[in-house]
Amino acid sequence: MFVFIDEFPENDTWRGWKKFVRALLNAGVEDGLDKYFRAGQSMHHIIFSTCERHGLEQYDPQPLRVTLGRNEGGYFLASSTRNLWFFAPDRKDAITSENALSMLRSYLLALWRESRPSDPLPTVFRSMPV
């Protein structure tokens, strides 16, 4: 399903990231999150938004996004309106395989409430613990 993950390098540095991302994205799809959020990717980041199209930097103002990433300390989720390569996030939390799905749900719920305040809350958030 996530063919782009297979394109990441196959070495000790990336093997853990590939396993972590694949498991988290699969769990998110199983929960139905993919019906409400667009996901884009770069080498180190998976970026979630509620926008109708990719290219978040082309929007003015730039929309809120949730970034799943890795750094020397491990894995993280961040919320921001700008690219994390150049700007600090508004919020950032370290995550592990044990809390990743619940943290992703929490971040995506906040993203939905901020970016779609007049839209009804998706059923996926009403039927699962956040």
Query: Is the bond leading into 9 cis (omega within 30 degrees of zero)?
Result: no
Q: One digit per residue, pLDDT tens: the chain, 130 residues? A: 566 777 777 888 788 888 999 999 999 999 999 999 988 887 678 999 987 766 656 656 677 899 999 988 899 999 999 888 889 999 999 999 999 999 999 999 999 999 999 999 998 888 655 4
CB 130 within 8 A of CB 109: yes
Task: Please give the angle made by the CA atoms of 6, 109 and 97, to the nearest 5 degrees.
Answer: 45
Whose tokens are 């998706």? That residue is 122
- Residue 118's pLDDT is what? 94
Per-residue confidence (pLDDT) for residue 82, from 0 to 100: 86
Q: What does the pLDDT read at residue 56?
A: 59
- 3 state SS of 36: coil
pTM: 0.88
CA 119 to chain centre: 20
- Domains of the chain, residue spans: 3-53+63-125
CA distance 87 to 116: 24
Query: Residue 95 burial (CB < 10 Å; 0-12/13-18/19+)?
Result: buried
DSSP state of 22: H
pLDDT of residue 60: 64
The CB-side HSE value for 114 (13 A sphere, CA atoms) comes to 16
